[in-house]
Structure 1
């Protein structure tokens, strides 16, 4: 008999759906969502526009949407964004032995954890907080949080599902013992992306289809134009680079677009393309066209799954050390470069090094592909099975 698991998530997420489908193969799984914002096409706060993902988010597993009485249509990590009293009813109705909760940002996360434990269920918590970002907070904030987590929240948790080295260190910092830790690496659908990569091997053709110059190298950014992602850092680094042989493609959207456009215009920067929001069915083409991938995010970037995606296309990656994934995915000077957040010159120098050396790009790209194969959905499910 398959272990019975109930998984509570804020809303359908494009990165999580493949994992839930894989879990359904191994477990008697039912997913409960606190909100349906991502499938209704509501305004995404980060992108600053309505977003409706064009891939199936609900296929291959069973799910229920719990009524959210908060009255809020969009999610922005505020505790009262989702309030679902029916969480309690759902826990009574389904006799799952294990309840997995993703994070503790919302009221309903906390309600699920407390109610599940009171009903005698095993509670597993999956979270992505990186320790190095945590330690940048004030001493008083850390003391208060230590009391809340160590003595109020974490006693309700049986297993802590960490996503990488920084996530593990975060839990350990707040007193979680090794016996309660389970490694569930942050992963995308590697099989799908590598299949798409194989189908898009003709880079010149892909560039032509996207309207990109075939003769130029492509530096790629994918993500929201918001402060956390620091897109202006990359534009400034590209300006400093002054490479007429390259094009900077920024696939995304958000509140910083106007500021980015003004900077590009005032500094007369050529060959920068603000491509706008690119949906999941099209993003593979941009990775296939790229020669270098950059993630320049700052505080609040708890991982950066776009790096996983890029590495599935055998791309060299340049990532700021602040990103949660940096220590796990980027082996400095092996599959890419790490640099200190906000260090525009170091970012520009890293890009220059890769643009000037095609052989090095190929070497780093192959290393990326090898590394990312260890960060798989199958690995997550195997470790969950072993933890039961």
Structure 2
């Protein structure tokens, strides 16, 4: 069996996932291939395509999508798919070129198609017509790969679970990279936030909340790790409200992040919204209790309030203050228990589980007949090309 994973780009967290899956599936006599569409235009510009593996290719390594016509993209994608001729295509949502063209090729060639998605439908605003077309096309996928079963309620209201197989666990990281080998101590007096400094991360409200902490518990320091267009504005804001115990460290290499996590007592992420938030996985794999906005989707699966951290509303500064103080005032044994609980929870979301979930799904799909397209499905799939637009991903819409 040949399986192909295709997306706009497969950077950062996908790198190790794909290498693991390639080796894991190879042991089951399944060949895995990977295709990235564009080498430029990604939010992950700091992680360029540098692959040399024969099974992993980038179709337009020197282009972004807006430098190409949809026909150029389609022709190159179809040519590569014809060359590999996979039995199963795994691709992102059909709103992207990878998903839209992947399902079109799969249906034309009587192959199976799996879609992965970590955005909850309720978090994406579309007009009735566009959402209807998306639902029409997506109803023809064979399986849906979601981060966790927390997504079931929203997706099962749109798609029939009897017709589409749901499975889980792709939003994982290499937990071992973040493992703390020594006994965790909670005497660092540091709480860390790792985030790109853009409006959607809600760092200004975190600084407002930290002002209260600063005034009532001035021996703790807030570490902000990350860069972005708001860096100077946020640093000036911290100075304007006379925050003393806050450190803006800027961006660091990804392989240095575990060290900063190990030197902290807890992790906080106050985002207005996150489709998942893989930095939460990293913090928990490093043994940190987590303080999370209830709009971070990872919190619904990974955070047990009062067990391995605390939840708060991103717009409620007083509540954020309360949760910060509540954690800081915990005795060390309680913090150690939260740390142990974080490790226990994150260890259920790992590469082994991801591989087993995918393997079980591939075996299931071998027993399923190909779906027959209705006229409307056929028209929608063959007219829709997908798109790639990251404009506004880091902005917050205020009502």
- Is residue 39–residue 62 contact of structure 2 (8 Å, CA) maintained in 1? no
Q: CA deviation at 1:16?
A: 1.2
Structure 2, unmatched stretches of 5+, are 363-399
SS at match of 1:285: helix
SS in 2 for 1:156: coil
Residues 89-168 of structure 1: pairs in structure 2 closer than 5 A:
89-134=79-124, 137=125, 141=126, 143-151=128-136, 153-168=137-152
Partner of 1:365: 339
The residue number in structure 1 matching 2:275 is 302
Aligned residues: 351
Aligned to 2:32: 29
Distance 1:52 1:128, change over 3 A: closer
Q: Distance in 2 between matches of 1:333 and 1:13?
A: 34
- Give the alignment partner of residue 196 of structure 2, picking from 203, 224, 229: 224
- Is the Cα contact below 8 Å between 1:237 and 1:345 reproduced in 2? yes
* Conservation of the 8 A alpha-carbon contact between 1:68 and 1:84: no
Shift of 1:216: 4.8
Q: Distance in 1 between matches of 2:259 and 2:185?
A: 9
SS in 2 for 1:34: strand
CA distance in 1, matches of 2:314, 2:129: 27
User: Aligned pair in 2 of structure 1 residues 329, 31: CA closer, same or farther (>3 Å)?
Assistant: same
User: 2 CA distance for matches of 1:359 and 1:31?
Assistant: 46
Pair 1:51 & 2:36 matched: no
Partner-residue secondary structure (3-state), 1:370: helix
Task: Choose from 302, 315, 321 the match for 2:294.
Answer: 321
Aligned counterparts, 1:1-388, within 5 A: 3-25=1-23, 26=25, 27-37=30-40, 45=43, 51-52=46-47, 58=51, 62-67=55-60, 71=64, 83=73, 85-134=75-124, 137=125, 141=126, 143-151=128-136, 153-178=137-162, 179-194=164-179, 197-198=180-181, 216-242=188-214, 243-299=217-273, 301-357=274-330, 358-388=332-362
SS at match of 1:66: strand
Cα distance between partner residues in 2 of 1:383 and 1:120? 23
Q: CA RMSD in A?
A: 2.7
Query: Is contact 1:132-1:166 (8 Å) kept?
Result: no
C-alpha deviation, 1:228, in angstroms: 1.4
> Whose RCO is larger (CA < 8 A, sep 6+)?
2
Between stretches 305-314 and 15-24, larger displacement belongs to: 15-24
Q: Is the 8 A contact 2:93 2:115 kept in 1?
A: yes
CA deviation after TM superposition for structure 1 residue 354, in Å: 1.2
Give the TM-score normalised by structure 2.
0.81
Q: Does the 8 A contact of 1:241 with 1:348 survive in 2?
A: yes
Does the CA-based 8 Å contact 2:51-2:57 persist in structure 1? no
Q: What is the distance in 2 between the residues matched to 1:61 and 1:104?
A: 26
Which stretch of structure 1 is more off in the superposition, 59-68 or 231-240?
A: 59-68
The aligned residue for residue 210 of structure 1 is: none
Shift of 1:114: 1.2
Q: Residue 293 of structure 1 aligns to a residue in which SS?
A: strand
CA drift of 1:130 comes to: 2.1
1:250: Cα distance to partner? 0.6
| Unaligned 5+ runs, structure 1 | 205-214
1:363 and 1:218 map into 2 onto residues whose CA distance is 18
Task: For residues 146-169 of structure 1, give each alpha carbon's deviation from its aligned partner in whole angstroms, at most 9, with x where no partner exists.
Answer: 411222x21331111111234333
Q: Is the 8 A contact 1:231 1:296 kept in 2?
A: yes
CA distance in 1, matches of 2:140, 2:63: 25
The two structures have a TM-score, normalised by structure 1, of: 0.83
Mapped contact 2:38–2:63 kept (Cα < 8 A): no
Tell me if the contact between 2:3 and 2:33 (Cα under 8 Å) persists in the aligned partners: yes
Q: CA-to-partner distance for each residue in 1:224-273, whole Å, 9 max, x for gaps?
A: 00111111121111112122111111110111112211211111110211
Structure 2 CA distance for partners of 1:311 and 1:58, relative to 1, 3 Å = farther
Q: Is the 8 Å Cα contact of residues 106 and 112 (structure 2) preserved in structure 1?
A: yes
